[in-house]
Amino acid sequence: MDIVKDSKAVPVYLHGNEGSSPRPLPQLVLLDLSLPKVDSITVLEQIQQHPRTQHLIVVVVTSSAADQDLLACYDLGVNSYIVKPLDFQRFVEISRQVGFYWIMLNNIPDLLF
């Protein structure tokens, strides 16, 4: 698992720098709506608008249960929207379950990656 903490680094992580080859795409992106420096909705738009990443599985994790955030994310094509529990151990367990479902149980066409 790789963690990209700065939202400005997400495009470089997914697409590479000029002159460098892009790395293999992740099987799953967990996107926190509270990323520093750039609005996470902007990051989601960048993921969805690029042909290389538009089919990535994106699960939003957030502390926001606001309908406007939920609708904005689904309008941009997220696969799932999860409100983070306050208890860290519960969050870890939910993260494991999310990973298990999207990586182990869910079937996606090979040609997407």
Q: How confident is the model at residue 101 (pLDDT cuts 50, 70, 90)?
A: very high
Pick the CATH number of 25-106 from 3.40.50.2300, 2.40.50.100, 3.40.50.300, 3.40.1280.10: 3.40.50.2300
Q: In what order do the strands lie in the sheet with 80-83?
A: 29-32, 58-62, 80-83
pLDDT in tens, 43-92: 899 889 888 888 899 999 999 899 999 999 999 999 999 999 999 999 99
Q: What length is written for the chain? A: 113
* pLDDT at 113 > cutoff 70: no
- Mean pLDDT score across all residues of the chain: 85
Sequence ranges of the domains in the chain: 25-106
Residue 75: closest CA among 60, 95, 85, 63: 60
Quick check: helix, strand or coil at residue 39? coil
Residue-level pLDDT at 19: 65
How big is the CA angle at 30 (ends 26 and 33), to the nearest 5 degrees? Answer: 140
pLDDT of residue 12: 73
